[in-house]
Amino acid sequence: MRLRLCTEGFNSFGSFASLYFSWLIILMIYNLSPKMCIRPKFIFLSMVILGPNSPGQNIKVCLRPLIDELTQLWSWL
């Protein structure tokens, strides 16, 4: 199975002066045709990181549990 991990950080309040950022972590299935892999039913919101402290360049710390879970899933296949 081929998956794509996408991240998107945005300011929840629409002001760049605010330090409150949110991060969406999305998984997409890439084993499908190009038209199908971008359909909403094949896109999974796996994690939302909320908080006044943006992880910035250290987002890998927040992604570690997801990566460990995907590694465990891969070993079962």
Q: Are 30 and 42 in contact (CB under 8 A)?
A: no
Looking at residue 66, the DSSP 8-state letter turns out to be: H
Given a cut of 70, whether residue 23 has pLDDT beyond it is yes
pLDDT in tens, 25-49: 888 888 888 888 888 888 898 888 8
* pLDDT on residue 21: 73
Nearest-5° angle of CA 60, CA 8, CA 67? 30
Domain boundaries, the chain: 3-76
Buried b (16+ CB within 10 A) or exposed e, 42-67: eeeeebebeeeebbeeeeeeebeeee
